[in-house]
């Protein structure tokens, strides 16, 4: 990463046609704890690693409810994520109040992405320092959708994805297994999400019912959060599969994670 | 490209009478995946290379519907393009609501170009980092028009054009064949668009029904998007023509692509 | 801590994806005198070291009443803390006036945290230079909650916490004993708070009824402030326990106190 | 041209009493393709060299209609010119709507010049990077007028003028013949305009019906644009005169073109 | 005091978590002539050294009336002090007009301190360069209060205090005697104030009825200003005590005066 | 003229108490072509050297009518002058419309001078780069007045004055003869104005009816402009006086022209 | 006077607690021609040295009428002074219109001083570069008052004062004689003012009826301006006293004139 006079102002183009401040903001996403998302034809599941500030604190929430049919997983600056989640909740409430129906996810995501874009084109603000994985069910079609935002204002739709620290390991797992996700049962999806998280735990720690968190939305099923003891049955199934993943190779994390701002 | 104190502020002229920040923004267009456009006397066709962030993501949309008679192909910052497309859709809706008729394309394009120009004359924003190819049919005359925008605020009308990475190859093809486009059938136009895209695919990849995308507007014909299996018949015709193009020479990409801001 | 061109403007990202001005503001919290907080199932207690500007001045208030069910302990810039406390009092008054009920603490804390976040995303202001420990009882459930804010806009909920100068010693104490807090009596909680403060007193000074301050909110119990003679009975119990703490080790203060902005 | 700390901000005077940013903007006019204007006692004619971005594009418009009695030829940034032309059209429409008469050209030109001046006295914008030749007929007196604007906000009235790249050759021709313009016929004026353009064509190119463009307003005659085949009769007359111009000497372009901002 | 890139903008934190511009503003307080304040259980007295610009000028006012129950002594920029005093007077008038009662001093002081704080958190203004000693009597309880402001926005309540040049000498005197102030008579308080001022007079000058100024508010007693001949009886008592103070030691002025911005 | 960090911002004082940007703006006045003014007891006459951009252009107007009783001669940036003249015309129209009487010249000049002053005290604009000589007759007293403005916002009243390039020669002439102006006839004043201009013509050029321009306002006489053939009779008288001026010495132009901003 | 990074922005404190830009603005006052003021128990007199730009110009006004009971003498930037005088006249008119009484001088002076202060606390403007001596009579008490303003926003009341170039000589004279001013007659006061001005005349010039100017307000006496022949009788008395002043010593001008911004 080269550094020069073009990288301290978000409204300044580098001679190569890049916005370096936006790229730096994207670095902050890689420093949050990992978050994974995947979907079948009927459900969308998010899994996240909760990070505890100290033994005395509650774990920080990594999965935030937006509405009955939508939840958000975050990696990056918590404060920025909370602000965005608040905006999304307000939009959902407003839509229900004005139109009497739940907010269509694709429409909300376009608004959220535009909110990101604006911070990249004016010099009075900074780009957001957070990436969001959004699990949702379309209120009309009852189809699950998994969206991912980026500080650049880009918006992606994924079959399965992972963001945050050490998320390359999760992506490798997801790529290997994603063809089976379409018809997977609700429970199998949860196990896949947890299994993908295993490699994202730092150092000698393990994935436990204390640091894992699962959120589910699905066809005709409202938002459910699974934490603590409710996770144990799924974690138990996980251990049976452990050996299978050992042979995976992490690859080059930085390269794999690079998402171009252009398309 | 020389670098100096005149190139970090969009409102500062260089002693040579150039706006370097605007020129840098034009570089970002060359980094998007390719997009081609061409028109006959009755139809206007856009073709684009979809770029996938990962195996797990959906391909990014490269062709965006604006209205029944207008669609946009993009190269450059996706988030900027989405913002501009949203603006264009709103203008079309507004025109229909207020005047009861579809938005005249030349009028909308002048507004879009002015929107670009403003970002080049004030210091609080940055120039947009995207180029648009706009295929449209005039609602009054039912004539097709192909427009192209530039971060500088310039607006061009083309018989055929190509923007984005490795687009010089496509331009060479289009220049060679453009005299036959006027009376070409709808299907032939599509094949020409795909053939022009062949040389824009990077490295060892090929043009397939997965990464190609075609959009059509025409006389008395509403916007149609062709993707996936619907493209295969056209791709099949393409392969028969492959040998013919091998002898083309790419020329000097940078030089050929240079579009002067002055006229 | 490295220093460079990225650390003088709050809206500028460093190439590593950090906001250095926000991190510098977090340093000011470590320079205030210590403040500790802890909760049982029925009460929430704050303890603070009052700092006197001179022999002639009154001790500066370290515990500020917000409402009957909420009080704030501060470490960092006093003037910033006073401004925030004023805002919180006004919100509580406004809620009572409009809805007829006390302000729900979690809602107020989200607003306060957003107020922090905004100062980190615009260039016309600076991040707040203060950390708050907020003891509160939910007016609906009558459950005690202990919140902690950070200049970054992060918001934490704790079982027990300590901020300010020499607070590592207090955290060590709290971690050792926190499992007994849940069922502790109101009086025991107060003694724990004072005991945690003992190690935070600077140099050769001692914890006395002059420099200590205790604030309590609890189930069906309005805000109480204990200072001066009212503290003596608790300080007397404290001395009996003194020897027990001598064996504690302070650890590495800086490392332990580092709170990541990402999650 | 010397460079220093006084030349990057439009509101900063150099110690010599010059505004260097305004002078730099004037450089951009010299980089547009040439445009010439001349008037008799009854007509005003503009001639311009169209520049084509590529074989596939339409030629860029160099002559823009403002109203029945007014047209504009441009050299410099196209996007700035389009913005100014839009402003002029709106003023003309507004004048017709409010007063029921066509806009008096001298009044509109004073407004356009003031619009330029404002961009040279405030730091939030940049000076326009375009020069305009405006051919008009006064709606009251039916007399033709030829105006020229400058990025500095200066406004000139000319008998004949030429701006843009290689325009010195055209000025030399116009100076040699201008005494015969007063009583020249409409057709002769057009031939003079084309003849003046001959020397402005770059390199080995020639003036053809493809790259030339002529616009005419006159006494009791609405705006006419001559392009393509309609130009051929005039180009044919031109070739008969070719030898006559060979002996002209171009002189020192830069010196001759220097227009002082002071008077 | 170290100097670097962090000390020229009030909204920039130094890596140590300090706001250096605020600290520099605090230096200006130390350059004003001295002002002392002290209170008994019934009265609050301010004493100040008037500084004369020249033999021909009136002495500058150092004690400014705010209302019947409140007066201000100043050290630092006179113009800033006058602006603040005007604000305080207006608030008092407004309170009387709206509520029919005198402004409660603690409420006004909180507003004044917030006014200071705001100048430290926005980049368009500078921190105030003045310290205020405010003597007041609470209109409800009729208890005297002595407040002190600081450019940082900090607000202190004191039993006795001194600010300005050479004020350390006064503080030493006040610390020695402050235990007797509580029950001191109105006249004794005045003598104490004058005695404290003796050491603040510069060089070979003496405290005289010309350069001293005393202001008093008290229980059921409106604001009184003592100057000139009215001071002589108190100055006469003063001389009897002169020898007693010779043995005081000034100590380290800078260290003693340092008021931390954090608490 | 020394150059340093204090001379690029109009709101920055140099340590010597000067505003260097204002002084630089004053330099631009010395670069315009010359303009002279003088008054008798009944008339006020302006004379100016018109400068032609090219053989093909009209001469630039140097004398601008403001109202029947007021005209302006300019030296410096033409665009700034035109803006100021427009403002003055509008004020005159407004005064007539609202009060039914012509604008008193001294009042308008005070407003114009304040308009200049404001550009020297705010950082968003630059000082005007033009000097104005204003000839006027007071509508009430019918006395002629000659005013001169300066970029600094200073306003002078003169018996006779000259500004612009080579104006020192004119000032020398005026100083020599000004005692005879009071009772001079209208025609003699005109000859004096032309004679003063003779020395201001550059190089080998001469003062002719093409480049000279005279404007007159007088007691009970509306604004008259003399140009072209109407000037010849006066120019003929001029030549008879030519030898008389040869012996004048120009003196030190820069020194004589220096007008202090202070008084 | 030391120079550094703290002296180019009016809102930046130097580490010593000084505002250097304000101090630089104070330098401009010392460059204006001298102005003196003095008062008896019944009258207030201003005397000023008029400075003429050239032989052809009128002398610049140094004494400006504000109202019947108030006049201003200026030293420094004339344009700034004129702006302030205009503000003062408007305030007087407004007061008369709204309250039916003349503006109380002390109230107007406080407003003027606050207007100065504001320019020292915001970064968009510069401090005023002028000092004012204001002679006034209180409309209620009919007592004369002499005020002096400073670019810092400080406001002084004087028995007698002098500002501007070479004013130290005048101050020395005033200090020597000021004890006799109280009961001096109107005529004697005028002679004293003129005598004080004698030493302020530059180089070999003399004080004459052409360059001197006297303004008087007094008990039951409206503003009077004495200039030209009306001054001669007083100047005649002056010469009789000439020898008496020869023995005065100027002292150190800079040191004597230094007015601290703090009090």
Which chain B residues are Cβ-neighbours of D84 within 8 angstroms?
none
G258–chain E nearest CA distance, Å: 9
Query: Which of A32, A82, A124 is closest, CB to CB, to C262?
Result: A32
Tens digit of each residue's pLDDT (9 = 90 or more) over B198-219: 989 987 788 999 899 999 999 9
In this predicted structure, the answer to whether residue G259 has a pLDDT above a threshold of 80 is no
Q: Tokens in use for G1?
A: 């006077």
Scored b (16 or more CB within 10 A) or e, C207-217 reads bebebbbbbbb
Instruction: Please give the pLDDT value at position G239.
Output: 60
In this predicted structure, the answer to whether residue E77 has a pLDDT above a threshold of 70 is yes
Cβ neighbours for B48, distance < 8 A, ≥ 6 positions apart: B33, B34, B35, B36, B62, B63, B73, B74, B197, B212, B213, B215
Q: Can you tell me the mean pLDDT for G88-109?
A: 96
Mutate one of E79, E115, E124, E151 to test the G interface: name it (highest G CB count within 10 A). Answer: E79
Please enumerate, as own/partner, the contacts of G206-212 that have beta carbons within 8 Å and a separation of 24 or more.
Answer: G207/G49, G207/G235, G207/G238, G208/G235, G209/G235, G210/G50, G210/G59, G211/G49, G211/G50, G211/G51, G211/G52, G211/G59, G212/G47, G212/G48, G212/G49, G212/G50
Instruction: Please give the pLDDT value at position C113.
Output: 96
Selected residues 174-203 of chain A with any CB under 8 Å from a CB in chain B: 174-175, 178
Instruction: Please give the pLDDT value at position G4.
Output: 52
Which chain F residues are Cβ-neighbours of G1 within 8 angstroms?
15
Tens digit of each residue's pLDDT (9 = 90 or more) over D233-254: 999 998 644 444 444 444 444 4
Give how far the C-alpha of residue A4 lies from the chain's centroid of Cα atoms, to the nearest Å: 31
Q: Do G82 and F160 touch (CB under 8 A)?
A: no
C4–chain E nearest CA distance, Å: 10
Tens digit of each residue's pLDDT (9 = 90 or more) over E188-208: 999 999 999 998 998 778 899
In this predicted structure, the answer to whether residue C56 has a pLDDT above a threshold of 90 is no
Q: Are C21 and C129 in contact (CB under 8 A)?
A: no
Q: Are G238 and E26 in contact (CB under 8 A)?
A: no
Would you call F95 an interface residue with chain G, using a CB distance cutoff of 8 Å? no
Tens digit of each residue's pLDDT (9 = 90 or more) over G25-36: 999 999 999 999
With a pLDDT cut of 90, the percent of chain G lying above it is: 75
Q: Tokens in use for E129?
A: 């360069």
In this predicted structure, the answer to whether residue B248 has a pLDDT above a threshold of 70 is no
Helix axes G105-119, E78-99, angle to 10 degrees: 120
Q: Do E21 and G5 touch (CB under 8 A)?
A: no
C141–chain A nearest CA distance, Å: 19
Q: Can you tell me the mean pLDDT for C31-44?
A: 95
Q: Can you tell me the mean pLDDT for G167-173?
A: 94
Neighbours of chain A (3+ CB pairs under 8 A): B, C
Q: Say how far apart CA F225 and CA F214 lie, in whole Å.
A: 6
Q: Can you tell me the mean pLDDT for B131-140?
A: 97
Answer with the residue of higher pLDDT: F94 or C205. F94
Q: Do A58 and C14 touch (CB under 8 A)?
A: no
Would you call G246 an interface residue with chain F, using a CB distance cutoff of 8 Å? no
Residues in chain D where the model's pLDDT stays below 70? 1-4, 53, 239-259, 263
Domains of chain A from N-terminus onward = 20-49+59-247 (3.60.20.10)
Are E and C touching by the rule of 3+ CB pairs within 8 Å?
yes
Would you call B87 an interface residue with chain D, using a CB distance cutoff of 8 Å? no
Instruction: Please give the pLDDT value at position C256.
Output: 42
Residue B241: pLDDT band with limits 50, 70, 90: very low
Q: Are C35 and C141 in contact (CB under 8 A)?
A: no
Per DSSP, D179 falls in state: G
How many other CB atoms are there within 10 angstroms of residue C71's CB atom?
25
A172–chain C nearest CA distance, Å: 22
Closest C-alpha to A107, from B89, B185, D156, G254: B89
Query: Which of D16, D122, D158 is closest, CB to CB, to F56?
Result: D158
With a pLDDT cut of 70, the percent of chain G lying above it is: 89
Q: Do D159 and F56 touch (CB under 8 A)?
A: yes
Which chain E residues are Cβ-neighbours of C58 within 8 angstroms?
156-159
Answer with the residue of higher pLDDT: D6 or G159. G159
Which chain G residues are Cβ-neighbours of F5 within 8 angstroms?
8
Instruction: Please give the pLDDT value at position D147.
Output: 97
Instruction: Please give the pLDDT value at position G248.
Output: 43
Asked if ipTM goes beyond 0.90, one says: no
Q: Are A133 and B56 in contact (CB under 8 A)?
A: no
F134–chain D nearest CA distance, Å: 16
Mutate one of E25, E77, E122, E123 to test the G interface: name it (highest G CB count within 10 A). Answer: E77
Would you call A13 an interface residue with chain B, using a CB distance cutoff of 8 Å? yes
Measured between CA atoms, the residue of chain F closest to residue D39 is F56
Q: Say how far apart CA A112 and CA D138 lie, in whole Å.
A: 54
In this predicted structure, the answer to whether residue B257 has a pLDDT above a threshold of 70 is no
Instruction: Please give the pLDDT value at position G8.
Output: 79
Tens digit of each residue's pLDDT (9 = 90 or more) over A8-46: 787 889 999 999 999 999 999 999 999 999 999 999 999
Q: Can you tell me the mean pLDDT for C204-210?
A: 87
In this predicted structure, the answer to whether residue E23 has a pLDDT above a threshold of 80 is yes
Q: Do D19 and F82 touch (CB under 8 A)?
A: no
Instruction: Please give the pLDDT value at position E123.
Output: 76
Tens digit of each residue's pLDDT (9 = 90 or more) over A37-90: 999 999 999 999 988 767 788 778 899 999 999 999 999 999 999 999 999 999
Answer with the residue of higher pLDDT: B45 or G6. B45
Instruction: Please give the pLDDT value at position D259.
Output: 62
Q: Which range among A39-43, D130-134, E33-37, G245-249 shows the weakest confidence by mean pLDDT?
A: G245-249
D120–chain F nearest CA distance, Å: 9
Query: Which of D26, D82, D123 is closest, CB to CB, to B113?
Result: D82
Q: Which range among E242-256, G91-105, G172-186 shows the weakest confidence by mean pLDDT?
A: E242-256
Q: Do C51 and E263 touch (CB under 8 A)?
A: yes
Q: Do B121 and D80 touch (CB under 8 A)?
A: yes
Residue D110 main-chain phi, psi, to 5 deg: -65, -40
Three-class SS state of C63: strand
Tens digit of each residue's pLDDT (9 = 90 or more) over B158-184: 999 999 999 999 999 999 999 999 999
Q: Say how far apart CA E216 and CA G55 lie, in whole Å.
A: 61
Q: Do E13 and C25 touch (CB under 8 A)?
A: yes
- The rounded average pLDDT for each run of 10 residues, N- to C-terminus, in chain F (263 residues) is 64 90 94 94 96 78 94 96 96 95 96 95 88 97 96 94 94 94 95 94 85 94 93 84 44 49 71
G151–chain E nearest CA distance, Å: 10
Q: Do A13 and B54 touch (CB under 8 A)?
A: no
Would you call B23 an interface residue with chain D, using a CB distance cutoff of 8 Å? no
Instruction: Please give the pLDDT value at position E42.
Output: 96
- Report chain E's terminal Cα–Cα distance, integer Å: 21
Instruction: Please give the pLDDT value at position E46.
Output: 98
Q: Say how far apart CA E230 and CA E232 lie, in whole Å.
A: 6
Q: Can you tell me the mean pLDDT for G70-91?
A: 96
Q: Say how far apart CA A207 and CA A231 lie, in whole Å.
A: 11
In this predicted structure, the answer to whether residue B250 has a pLDDT above a threshold of 70 is no
Instruction: Please give the pLDDT value at position B244.
Output: 44
Query: Which of B18, B122, B152 is closest, CB to CB, to D124?
Result: B122
């Amino acid at each position: 990463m080269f550094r020069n006079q073009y990288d301290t102002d978000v409204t300044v183009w580098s001679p190569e046609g890049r916005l370096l401040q936006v790229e730096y903001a994207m670095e902050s996403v890689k420093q949050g704890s990992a978050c994974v998302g995947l979907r079948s034809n009927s459900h969308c599941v998010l899994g996240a690693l909760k990070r505890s500030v100290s033994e005395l604190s509650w774990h920080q929430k990594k999965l935030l409810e937006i509405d009955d049919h939508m939840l958000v997983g975050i990696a990056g600056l918590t404060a920025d994520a909370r602000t965005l989640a608040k905006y999304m909740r307000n939009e959902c409430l407003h839509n229900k109040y004005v139109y009497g129906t739940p907010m269509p996810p694709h429409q909300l995501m376009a608004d959220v992405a535009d909110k990101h874009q604006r911070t990249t084109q004016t010099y009075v603000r900074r780009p957001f320092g957070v990436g969001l994985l959004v699990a949702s069910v379309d209120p009309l079609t009852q189809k699950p959708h998994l969206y991912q935002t980026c500080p650049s204002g880009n918006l992606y739709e994924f079959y399965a994805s992972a963001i945050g620290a050490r998320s390359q390991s999760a992506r490798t797992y997801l790529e290997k297994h994603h063809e089976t996700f379409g018809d997977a049962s609700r429970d199998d999806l949860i196990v896949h999400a947890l299994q993908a998280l295993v490699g994202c735990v730092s150092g000698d720690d393990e994935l436990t019912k204390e640091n894992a968190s699962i959120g589910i939305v699905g066809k005709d099923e409202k938002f459910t959060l699974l934490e603590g003891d409710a996770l144990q049955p799924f974690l138990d199934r996980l251990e049976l599969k452990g050996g299978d993943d050992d042979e995976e190779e992490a690859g080059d994390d930085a390269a794999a994670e690079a998402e171009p701002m252009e398309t």
